[in-house]
Structures are given as structure tokens and as C-alpha cells.
């Protein structure tokens, strides 16, 4: 089977692409490569790499593809606010374009990578049927895309939405702008865990390997189980308040619990039920929060990750790209980046 992964060189995509290869699938990666090719350099001879943008790629590239995992997006809530118009252009319009073209080209399976951030703030445990409360451009773009993509599903085009919990863990395209990873980096560099105020906010978590396996579960499931369905992806036991999360990270790193506050009080807080994907697809994540944090800490300690590489803080790198784009525009050099 030929599988296309948009954003396949990214934080989740670089893990997912490898898992697909391991399972014997033919993998095509379509990625703008904002962060370079390092994340896929060791598998470059095993995949088909297309450097392109989901908004502009030639639809003929979809010929021969059997399934699409649509992960390409400007990542996370802070990044989405750097340029809200651009976020909607890529995360909403670009991904609806991929789904629409997929159906037009007879591709049978399409899986949309959404986010539990669409729940925003909720007082009770929520599931896939709960009301949505997107508080950021990133979350709003995901909601808009979901509402356009799911109605495309029919007996010949299977569309599924995966609302992923906050992801953590080591990846080949590392991100330190995610809660557990960022806490681990702060501890490694400064001896203190950075905690976003006020620490009582709830958040669900899932390891990057585990969330990648969820995509494969959907791909291999019977169509009637996943077509036109939404699944939260995570683990009930990994709904954690942020201050307690920081304690878990300290224990994982086997260091005294020291911390420092940062930022304004987080307006997002939600606990999510993952019973639907567990009961429907027999999906149970295997990696604990402590295991994931320790893996990241060990990778830093062993020099496998550069703690000062600004590409690993997504919002900083996007700011750099936007500044370069402004420079190119001001100097009348043709070189659109975003």
C-alpha cells in the first residue's frame, strides 16, 4: 500500500514515517521542510520525498496513492497567533484542499491530524460528542477543517479525524515547545522546571510513538469502524494537572523538584476521555509520562539533542522564517517562505 504523509518530516511525521516503513508500507513524504531534512536523512533512500506545500502541490502527485495521513500544519497554539491569517490559510484551507483532492483522485483512506486543543476550557470530563470551545487560531482552524472534511466521507472515501492529546517524547524533529519536553529541557539547562501559571490547568498527554501508532490503527481498521468518525487519541491515566506534571518530570529525571513560573495564567484546561478509541480499535498507549520525559532527558545528557537549537522551539523558528520573509520582501528578493 502506498501511503502519503503530509508533514512527514515533522515531529510526529518523522516517527510515523519510520513506523510505516517498518510495517512494510511504501511511504511518500510531502513536506515544506521548514526545519530541514535532518529528521529523515537516514531513511531518505527508503521513502519518496516531495518538497512542496499542501496549498500548492500538483494534484498529479496523488496518482497511485492509497491513503493519506494529513499532518502538515503550523504547529501549536502560540505559533498560530504569530500570523492568524497564514494559520487559517495552511491549517484550514490547505488541509481541506488535500482532503478534497484525495477524494477526487480516488484515494480510499484519509486521516486528519486534529488536536484536543479544540476543547479549549471545559469543567467536566469530555468526549468526542462534547461541545467544542476553541480559544486560539490554531484550534479554530482545526475545528473549521474538521467540519469541511468529515462530510466528504462516503462509501468510497473513508475520512477519519484524530484529535490528539498534547504530544511528548523524543523525535527525530524534536520540539521543546510542548509541555513535557519543555519542562525537561528547562530542568536540563537551568536546574528548574518552567511551569505555566497557574499550574492547576488540566491537560491530556500522549507519547509521540503512541500517537503515531493510532494512525496505523485507523489505517488497518475495518472501514465501518473508522469512516466519518472522530477519535480522541491518548490515555485516560495521562490526564494531568500541570503542576503535578512538573513533579512527575522531576521524578523521571531523578532530580530534586525545583521550578519557576512563567507566562500569564493559561486559559485552556480540559480532561479528555479516550474510551472510544480504546473500545473501538483496542488502542492503548504503551509509554508513560515518566518514561517519555526520561528518554528526552537522556537524549540531552548524551548529546543526541542540542538544547540551544532554535529549530526545536517551533515558535522561535517560525519567527525567524517570518523575519526572513520580511527581509526578502524589503530587499525585493523573490523567495516566499510561508
Helix, strand, coil shares of the chain, percent, nearest 5, are 45, 20, 35
Classify the C-alpha dihedral 54-55-56-60 as positive or negative.
Answer: positive
The long-range contacts involving 279-282, CB below 8 angstroms and separated by at least 24 positions, are 280/221, 280/225, 280/226, 280/229, 280/231, 281/214, 281/217, 281/218, 281/221, 281/225, 281/226, 281/231, 282/217
Classify the C-alpha dihedral 245-250-252-253 as positive or negative.
Answer: positive
| pLDDT at residue 338, as a whole number | 57
Per-10-residue mean pLDDT, the chain, length 338? 98 98 98 94 97 97 98 79 86 98 98 97 96 95 98 98 98 96 96 95 98 98 98 98 97 94 92 98 97 98 94 78 56 47
The secondary structure element, H or E, covering residue 168 is strand 166-168
CA angle 114, 49, 24 (to 5 degrees): 75
| Domain assignments of the chain as residue spans, ordered by start | 2-320
Is the CB of residue 259 less than 8 Å from the CB of residue 194?
yes
| pLDDT at residue 315, as a whole number | 75
| pLDDT at residue 336, as a whole number | 47
Taking the C-alpha atoms of residue 48 and residue 273, their distance in angstroms, rounded to an integer, is 37
| Residue that is written with C-alpha cell 497567533 in the block | 81
Taking the C-alpha atoms of residue 29 and residue 237, their distance in angstroms, rounded to an integer, is 33
| pLDDT at residue 157, as a whole number | 98
pTM: 0.93
CATH topology of domain 2-320: Rossmann fold (3.40.50)
Grid coordinates in use for 61? Answer: 502527485
| pLDDT at residue 335, as a whole number | 45
Angle between helices 242-253 and 179-190 (to 10 degrees): 50
Q: What are the distances in angstroms from CA 240 to CA 34, 119, 176, 243, 272?
A: 32, 15, 19, 8, 10
Give the closest residue to 119 by CA, choosing from 146, 139, 90.
139
Amino acid at each position: 500500500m502506498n501511503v502519503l504523509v503530509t508533514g512527514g518530516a515533522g515531529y510526529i511525521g518523522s516517527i510515523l514515517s519510520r513506523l510505516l516503513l517498518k510495517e512494510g508500507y511504501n511511504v511518500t513524504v510531502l513536506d515544506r521542510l521548514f526545519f530541514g531534512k535532518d529528521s529523515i536523512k537516514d531513511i531518505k533512500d527508503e521513502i519518496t520525498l516531495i518538497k512542496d506545500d499542501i496549498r500548492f502541490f500538483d494534484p498529479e502527485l496523488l496518482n497511485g496513492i492509497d491513503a493519506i495521513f494529513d499532518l502538515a500544519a503550523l504547529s501549536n497554539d502560540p505559533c498560530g497567533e504569530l500570523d492568524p491569517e497564514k494559520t487559517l490559510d495552511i491549517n484550514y484551507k490547505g488541509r481541506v484542499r488535500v482532503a478534497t483532492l484525495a477524494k477526487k483522485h480516488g484515494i480510499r483512506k484519509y486521516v486528519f491530524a486534529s488536536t484536543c486543543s479544540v476543547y479549549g476550557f471545559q469543567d467536566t470530563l469530555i468526549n468526542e460528542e462534547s461541545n467544542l470551545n476553541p480559544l486560539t487560531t490554531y484550534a479554530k482552524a482545526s475545528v473549521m477543517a474538521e467540519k469541511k472534511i468529515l462530510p466528504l466521507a462516503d462509501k468510497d472515501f473513508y475520512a477519519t479525524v484524530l484529535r490528539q492529546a498534547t504530544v511528548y517524547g523524543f523525535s527525530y524533529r524534536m520540539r521543546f515547545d510542548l509541555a513535557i519536553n519543555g519542562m525537561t529541557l528547562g530542568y536540563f539547562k537551568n536546574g528548574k522546571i518552567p511551569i505555566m501559571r497557574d499550574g492547576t490547568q488540566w491537560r491530556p498527554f500522549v507519547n509521540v510513538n503512541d500517537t503515531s501508532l493510532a494512525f496505523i490503527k485507523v489505517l488497518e481498521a475495518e472501514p465501518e469502524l473508522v469512516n466519518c468518525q472522530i477519535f480522541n487519541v491518548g490515555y485516560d491515566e495521562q490526564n494531568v494537572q500541570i503542576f503535578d506534571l512538573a513533579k512527575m518530570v522531576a521524578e523521571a529525571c531523578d532530580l530534586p523538584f525545583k521550578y519557576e513560573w512563567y507566562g500569564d495564567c493559561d486559559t485552556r484546561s480540559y480532561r479528555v476521555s479516550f474510551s472510544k478509541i480504546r473500545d473501538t480499535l483496542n488502542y492503548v498507549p504503551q509509554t508513560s509520562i515518566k518514561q517519555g520525559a526520561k528518554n528526552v532527558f537522556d537524549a540531552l545528557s548524551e548529546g543526541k539533542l542540542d538544547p540551544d537549537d532554535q529549530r526545536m522551539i517551533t515558535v522561535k523558528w517560525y519567527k525567524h522564517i517570518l523575519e526572513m520573509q520580511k527581509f526578502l520582501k524589503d530587499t525585493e528578493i523573490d523567495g516566499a517562505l510561508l
